Structure 1
Amino acid sequence: MLDVAFGLPLHPLIVHATVVVVPLATLAVLLAGLWPRFRDWAGWLPLVLAAAAVVLTPLSTQSGESLQRRVPSTELVREHVALGDSLTPWVLLLGVAAVATTVVWRRERVLAHGAATDPLGRLGDHVSGWTGTGALPRWLVVVTAVLAVVAGVGTAQQVVRIGHSGAQAAWSQAAATTPTRHGGGDGDGR
């Protein structure tokens, strides 16, 4: 399905979008889980970015599997593919953390500004167990922060590992097939 467009593999295009969105989502969810002021400022942003990451990650995996059939199978390519498959659970956990930070943010807004600022009504009540009286349950804030940290650190680590292995796989093949220029000229390789 996600193979080529205009004769070029789609994987590099989709991966570049993923490489931007997943770290941004990771940072946004991590900050929203730990920093109430950021949570209030960012609003829906962590959830939107996490949703985009959840969509882009399987697209990257599918386009990578299509590209894998077109390139020579090397140990570096196989390692990259295996690592790429491992990102999906982390991004899904990041999505869960984004939902949790959004629920906390919505409840905090209701507490601070009253029900008039909550156009979604009592959407988060079912998830958080909050009854609308008193303060937001401390356990919800703590669990959300822990979830955001675990998802953020795990996702960030996987993105770095996958990116590094992909660069190694791509550039080791490019270096093996690129002719080198020797001698002649003014010493700058021309």
Structure 2
Amino acid sequence: MFDQVNGLPVHALVLHAAVVFVPLLALGAIVYALVAKWRPKIEWAVVALAVVAPITTFVTRESGEKLFDRLAAQGMKAGQNLNDHMHFGSVTFWFTLALGVVTLAQVVLVRRGALPKIVEWVLSAVMIVLAVIAVYYVYRTGDSGAHAVWGQS
């Protein structure tokens, strides 16, 4: 399932979804956390991104592992850039999942209307921190992947 589609590595096909959806989730979460009057207008998009972004990072990570296994079976040796890339991809998944969960929790609690301000502020701060970290790791993952495939120059 995560290996190939019509002979193409799934990883090459899905990684771009994670590169788009994780920063969009981060942006949506930050706006949702900071601009209360926009919450009703962007709520549906933030909820959708909180579900889709972690799924795309999971599929990207799993398909990358399948691609690595196939290439290793063909005799390819993993260099430091590839090891870094795989590590950063796993970290990206976990931070994106955490951001998605916290974002969904914030939306649900805000909709209920009984959220104490201090809890709202804490959740907002956590969302912002997770958003920044998730985007940072998307960058690190992509950069190390590009170096692993295309080299340093």
TM-score (ref. length: structure 1):
0.72
Richer in helix (by share): 2
**How do residues 70-81 of structure 1 correspond to structure 2 at under 5 angstroms?**
70-71=70-71, 72=76, 73-81=78-86
Q: CA RMSD in A?
A: 1.8
DSSP-derived class of the 1:43 partner = helix
Deviates more, 1:83-92 or 1:96-105: 96-105
Q: Could you say which residue in structure 2 is the equivalent of 1:162?
A: 141
Residue identity matched to 1:19:
V
**Which structure is richer in relative contact order (CA contacts within 8 A, separation 6 or more)?**
2
| Bigger Rg, which one | 1
Q: Give secondary structure in 1 for the equivalent of 2:2.
A: coil
Deviating beyond 6 angstroms after TM superposition, the runs of 4 or more aligned structure 1 residues are none
List runs of 5+ in structure 2 lacking aligned partners. none
Paired position in structure 1 for 2:151: 172
SS at 1:2's partner residue?
Answer: coil
Shift in Å, 1:104: 4.4
Find the counterpart in structure 2 of residue 149 from structure 1: 128
Answering whether residue 72 of structure 2 is matched by residue 91 of structure 1, we say no
Which deviates more from structure 2 when the two are superposed, residues 65-74 or residues 163-172?
65-74
Between Structure 1 and Structure 2, how many residues are aligned? Answer: 148
The percent identity for this pair of structures is: 34
Deviations 1:8-66 (A, max 9, x none): 11101110111111111111111101111221220221121011012111111110011
Give me the whole-angstrom Cα distance separating, in 2, the residues matched to 1:32 and 1:157. 19
Gaps of 5+ in 1: 109-129, 131-135, 176-190
